[in-house]
Amino acid sequence: MKTYSSFFTSVQFFALSIPFLIFLNSTQSASSQYSKWHHDTTYHGLVGLRPLPRTKEMDHSANHGGSWAGTPTYAEQKGKYPFVAENLDVVKGWLDGDFKTNRVFFEYYWGLSKVRDNLDPEKNDLIKTIRTWESKGGQVEHILICREYDLAIHRGHKEAKPGPFEEDTRILFEKDIDDIRDMFKKAHKQNILKHDNYKLIQMVQEPSFYATDKRFQPIMDKCDGIAYECHQFNRHWPLETGWSKPEKVIKGAKWTLGQNKEYIFYYGPIRWKGEVYYEFMERDWLQQFWKAGLPKHHPKMHYYLNTFPHADGRGRPVGPETDPHSILGFTKWLIQEIKISSQEKTNGNEAMGEAQQHK
């Protein structure tokens, strides 16, 4: 009798355990699968973030489109963005948050002065910037570089010089890129930098000029890609008729990807609770770009958020990521749109292909 009782008890326990084991296995599979998607950029590009303000001490004294004093900070959100912390690919200007990545990007303005552009690796500001991040354990992924003449000349940089094209004064000279590449090699040889080359992404002002003027091709051949800044203020507003109207941006992006170069859609700052604000307008702009044909899932098409406080965009909550209106909530949504949906779509297409083969 004991034997039968033990047998039926074992069977009952096993039967009750099956649903739990199935759930556990599916959870582990989903987790490991997402981890695979996170590191595999075969189907999508990178998602990056410029976290500002970082801390009160670091950034509350800033004034860009209005004072940043009292605006929400990323430091205040510690522990409140686990998904973004785990799955963000690249970060700008801050390795002290919860972000797990050590890959960094930064902007750099060439041509502001002869002192800054000194080609001696020991004296050059660009080399110093790379060295600083590498000394902190950072891996420099992209350098968004340009001649920021139009703004610099009005901000006290009297020596600032424009690039070769009046249509877009941000564009570098060919010699600029050659000099910088040579300097990288010297700096590496002198054990100042970890590598002898870095990705130079030409940051442009006009969304499609570079893609339509043959004079730009020699410069394109020397750089690693294009970064275009799109935001919701000034001449960029409104989207339909502004500086960043989709057809021009899409033309530039597709031309860049067709050259087998990288394209960074550098998005922000964004609005918040102003006169023209409507709910989730930050998502809506991206969705309008995608609907119009801006590549969404491509291994060389990257989306970086430049969502610092500006004008009526100041005051938007930074987090937590569970708040869909917050910056970290928006970042979480973007990661899911770019990284998860691309893999799910690809897996779906592969499954359909396999089903067709077995018919």
pLDDT, residue 335, reads 98
Q: What percent of the chain has pLDDT over 90?
A: 79
Answer yes or no: is pLDDT of 32 > 70.
no
Place of tokens 């750089």: 223
pLDDT, residue 316, reads 97
On whether the CB atoms of residues 271 and 232 are closer than 8 A, the answer is yes
Through-space distance between the first and last CA atoms of the chain, rounded to whole angstroms:
53
Torsion, Cα of 2, 5, 10, 12 (10° steps): -170
Model pLDDT for residues 141-168, shown as the tens digit of each residue: 999 999 998 888 878 888 899 999 999 9
pLDDT, residue 287, reads 98
Query: Looking at beta carbons, which pairs linking 342-349 to residues 24 or more positions away fall under 8 Å?
Result: 342/43, 342/44, 342/296, 342/297, 343/37, 343/40, 343/43, 343/44, 345/297, 346/43, 346/297
Tell me the mean pLDDT in the region 203-227: 98
Domain 46-349 class, CATH top level: alpha beta
- Cα angle 108, 71, 281; round to 5: 80
Q: Confidence band (pLDDT; 50, 70, 90) for 112? A: very high
pLDDT, residue 156, reads 82
Model pLDDT for residues 262-307, shown as the tens digit of each residue: 999 999 999 999 999 999 999 999 999 999 999 999 999 999 999 9
On whether the CB atoms of residues 149 and 163 are closer than 8 A, the answer is yes
C-alpha–C-alpha distance, residues 275 and 299, integer Å: 37
Answer yes or no: is pLDDT of 8 > 90.
no
pLDDT, residue 30, reads 37
Distances (CA, A) of 302 to 196, 197, 263, 267: 24, 20, 6, 11
Model pLDDT for residues 328-348, shown as the tens digit of each residue: 999 999 999 999 876 665 554
Model pLDDT for residues 84-96, shown as the tens digit of each residue: 999 999 999 999 9
On whether the CB atoms of residues 190 and 130 are closer than 8 A, the answer is no
pLDDT, residue 9, reads 43
pLDDT, residue 154, reads 78
Compute and round to an integer the Cα radius of gyration of the chain: 24
The string of DSSP letters for 76-130 reads GGTTS-HHHHHH--EESS-SSSS----EEEEEEE-SS-TTTT---TTT-HHHHHH
Q: Confidence band (pLDDT; 50, 70, 90) for 223? A: very high
On whether the CB atoms of residues 272 and 308 are closer than 8 A, the answer is no
Q: Read off the tokens for 187.
A: 């700096």
Query: In a 3-state reduction of DSSP, which class is residue 267?
Result: strand
